[in-house]
Amino acid sequence: MKEQIGIPRSMYRSLSMYPTSADAEQVADLVERTAAAFKQSPGFRSFTTSVDALMGPGARDRKVARVVVVDFDSLDDALNALKADDFQETRTATEEIGATHFLFECREV
């Protein structure tokens, strides 16, 4: 999608939250595997992850230990990355440990 003058460019964001109940080493491995897979995907923009303990009011209940944010150019790019054959084992493993995943369109305001 080309940015038009005066119209902010949108993107699609994947937000994943990994529970504190999951093994930290397993989560670290899954995050690394996810990063490696997504960075090879067409339309990939960025991959960030939280480090150390989460802070703020939402972290008080300590249900979430790690947050991952991945940005893609388009919905098709995001869905293709999520549905890629070589990502399915990792995807299944994240779901098995109870990670919560969101996919949404966003833009700068």
- Residue 46: closest CA among 69, 78, 80: 69
DSSP 3-state of 2: coil
Determine whether 31 is exposed, middle or buried from the number of CB atoms within 10 Å of its CB (0-12, 13-18, 19+). Answer: buried
Give the sheet arrangement for strand 64-72, strand by strand: 44-49, 64-72, 10-19, 100-107
Tell me: the pLDDT tens digits for 14-66?
Answer: 999 999 999 999 999 999 999 999 999 999 999 999 998 899 988 888 899 99
Domains (range + CATH), the chain: 10-107 (3.30.70.100)
Instruction: Quote the DSSP letter at residue 104.
Output: E
Q: pTM score, two decimals?
A: 0.87
